[in-house]
Amino acid sequence: MEWAKESLEKVEGSRAARMKQQAPMPSDPDLILKNFHPDYSGKERTVNAGPNAGDQKFPLELADLLEADSPLPATHSTVTDIETDVLIIGGGGAGAAAALAFEGSGLNVHLATKLRLGDSNTVMAEGGIQAALAETDSPRRHFADTMVGGHGENEPDLLRILCEGGPKSIEWLSQLGCLFDRNPDGTFRLRGGGGTSVPRVLACRDYTGLEIMRVLKDAVRLSSTNVLEDHAAVELFDDGNSTVSGAVLYDRKKASLVNVSARAVILATGGSGQLRLQGFPTSNHVGATGDGLVLAYRQGCRLAFLDSYQYHPSGACYPEALAGQLVTEAIRSAGAQVVNSEGVHFINEMAYRDVLAAAIIKETQEGRGITTPNGKVGVWLDTPMIDLKNGEGALAKQFPGLIHRFERYKIDPVKTPVLIYPTLHYQNGGISIDSQCKTEVKGLWACGEVTGGLHGKNRLMGNSLLDILVFGRRAAESVKEKISERKLLTLNNLNEFRKSQLQKQITSPTFFPKASKMKLEIGKSAVEAETTDSSSSETSGGFEPPDPFAR
Binding to another protein, residues 108-147 (CB under 8 A): 115-116, 118-120, 123-124, 133, 136-138, 140-141, 143-145, 147
Residue whose CB is less far from another protein, 345 or 457: 457
Residue whose CB is less far from another protein, 150 or 472: 150
Surface-to-core class of residue 412, CB atoms within 10 Å of its CB (0-12 exposed, 13-18 middle, 19+ buried): middle
Are 249 and 76 within 8 A, CB to CB?
no
Are 315 and 324 within 8 A, CB to CB?
yes
Least distance to another protein from the beta carbon of 167, Å?
A: 6
Is the omega angle on the peptide bond into residue 73 within 30 degrees of 0, that is, cis?
no
Among residues 285, 265, 266, which one has the least CA distance to residue 274?
285
Among residues 314, 295, 285, which one has the least CA distance to residue 516?
285
Which one of the listed residues 298, 312, 405, 455 is annotated catalytic? 312
Residue whose CB is less far from another protein, 207 or 280: 207
Residue whose CB is less far from another protein, 243 or 256: 256
- Binders of another protein among 443-462, rule CB under 8 A? none
Letters for 194-233 (x = contact with another protein by CB under 8 A, - = none) are ---xx-----xx-x-xxx--xx-xx--xx-----------
Contacts 24+ apart (CB under 8 A), 395-403: 397/205, 398/205, 398/206, 398/330, 398/334, 399/205, 399/206, 399/328, 399/330, 399/331, 399/334, 400/205, 400/206, 400/207, 401/126, 401/205, 401/206, 401/207, 401/328, 402/206, 402/327, 402/328, 402/331
Helix axes 93-101, 463-482, angle to 10 degrees: 40
332 catalytic per annotation: yes
Cα dist from 318 to 374, 377, 389, whole Å: 9, 9, 25
- Binders of another protein among 491-550, rule CB under 8 A? 512-513, 515-518, 535-536, 538-541, 543, 545-546, 548-549
**Residue among 152, 367, 391, 393 that touches another protein (CB under 8 A):** 152
Which one of the listed residues 332, 353, 405, 473 is annotated catalytic? 332
Least distance to another protein from the beta carbon of 210, Å?
A: 5
- Binders of another protein among 40-99, rule CB under 8 A? none
Q: How far apart are CA 90 and CA 86, in angstroms?
A: 13
- Binders of another protein among 294-333, rule CB under 8 A? 319-321, 325-326
**Residue among 231, 263, 285, 353 that touches another protein (CB under 8 A):** 285
How many residues form the binding site for another protein (CB under 8 A)?
79
> H or E segment at 527?
helix 526-532
- Binders of another protein among 159-178, rule CB under 8 A? 160, 167, 170-171, 174-178
Least distance to another protein from the beta carbon of 206, Å?
A: 9
Residue whose CB is less far from another protein, 75 or 540: 540
Residue whose CB is less far from another protein, 10 or 151: 151
- Binders of another protein among 398-427, rule CB under 8 A? 400-401, 404-405, 408
Instruction: Give the residue numbers annotated as catalytic, written as ranges.
Output: 312, 332
